[in-house]
Structure 1
Amino acid sequence: VLASKFLPGRVVEIPVSTGDEALDAQIAQGRALLNSLREKRGQIANVAARAQLDRMIKAGEAIFDALVQQPARANQLRKFLNYYLPTAEDLLESYVQILQLPATPSENVKKVCDSVENALPLMADAFEKQLDSLYGADALDITADVEVLKTMIEREGLTKERVFNLIDEDARGGDPQP
């Protein structure tokens, strides 16, 4: 809080320590690439492109937060760390450079811009699917636990319908429902 008064608008990244130096370096590099995406977002006027970048940044932040919490999941994210994120940053670097050209864009330049703009939703989907893949096994475990719980409740006769019938019986003085 005190630093925000002296250095307003400045974000200081606190180094991550997962216990694995190589992973810490990958996380730092990945977060630097996300920061680069953030900077590029500010240089893009296209609202739809900015919205896709927002999706990518949000998913990327969540991925790195999950990775810090559970470093063992790094293997699940190799493709994201080594391909998707760096490639997205490279494409956006080229895109921003093209957007900053002073001359009227040629047909080829327009095609390149359209190509990148059409690829942004695909990249955002890939980022979000990488995030979802982190929780896929957890979701299966939770779903299985819920199914087992339902089966046990039904087997014990504690379903909502059965509980309401028992309440009705108590209200009538113990007379079972016909």
Structure 2
Amino acid sequence: MSEQTRTKLLAGALETLVENGIAKTSARSVAAAAGVNQGLIFYYFGSVDELLAAACRYGAEQRVARYRSRFAEVETLTELLRLGRELHAEERAAGHVATLAGLVDVHGLSRALAAGFVGLELYEGVDPDGTQRALAALEQLGHLVTALQDLGPVAQSAVRMRMRRAVAARGDAPS
């Protein structure tokens, strides 16, 4: 397996997802973005769904590696919040924030997470064990998001539809 071709396909898939959205991402569009024959998608990944799942993991791994050293330097809550703003701006400029937009209200989720972390900082003095359980639950949520990303475009579409119905039934659609 040529690592260079595989990397081109992963990068092409990410580019196509960001530019066209999941509904308009196809073997043909990914191959064009990668500059390779579309048959290579099936040779290396077996299916477009498998390529897209691998591309999401690849993109996440690239971003984590890029930011790891920056997080290691954080020592205060103020520094963490500053870094969070910087990373959000970088991810938005790169189009990565749009990946979750089809599933959740990204702005609301980012506010909820920020409030949650501030709250956990305050809560830890009252209930250290509860704080650890809350952090573990957030890690579980992260695993759930990863599992949703691994489902593939058809299953993700079904999840989005189910979430829209649930929100509409409750009447609490984000504004």
Please identify the structure whose Cα radius of gyration is greater.
Answer: 1
Higher RCO (C-alpha 8 Å, min separation 6): 1
Query: TM-score, structure 2 length as denominator?
Result: 0.32
